[in-house]
Amino acid sequence: MILSEAINLRIAELLKKNSLTAYQLSYRAGISNSIISDCKRGKVKEPTISSIIHICEGLNMQLRDFFDSEYFKDVEAIDRFEKNEPKIV
């Protein structure tokens, strides 16, 4: 699983666990709703650690607790070559 998918699943899990909407979490975290929505939709391929810290603050949890999940057990980063190079068809 790539990192963005793991983060997406973890955010969805935490929203459900805390009975929150993405909008409510964004308000509590003091960040734009689009940051959370874009993460959930997979639009953001590499969320910043700053955004994840804000999400953690909105959930009253520590960063290490966010990543303490089976989703991150075998996580992979996006291949830099794929991200920066145009694809040849």
Please tell me the pTM assigned to this model.
Answer: 0.80
22-75 pLDDT, tens digit per residue, is 999 999 999 988 888 888 777 877 788 999 999 999 999 999 999 999 999 988
Q: What is the band of 84 on the pLDDT scale with cuts at 50, 70, 90?
A: low
Q: What is the 3-state secondary structure (H, E, C) of the chain?
A: CEHHHHHHHHHHHHHHHCCCCHHHHHHHHCCCHHHHHHHHHCCCCCCCHHHHHHHHHHCCCCHHHHCCCHHHCCCECCCHHHHHCCCCC
CB 65 within 8 A of CB 24: no
Q: Which domains does the chain have, with CATH numbers?
A: 3-84 (1.10.260.40)
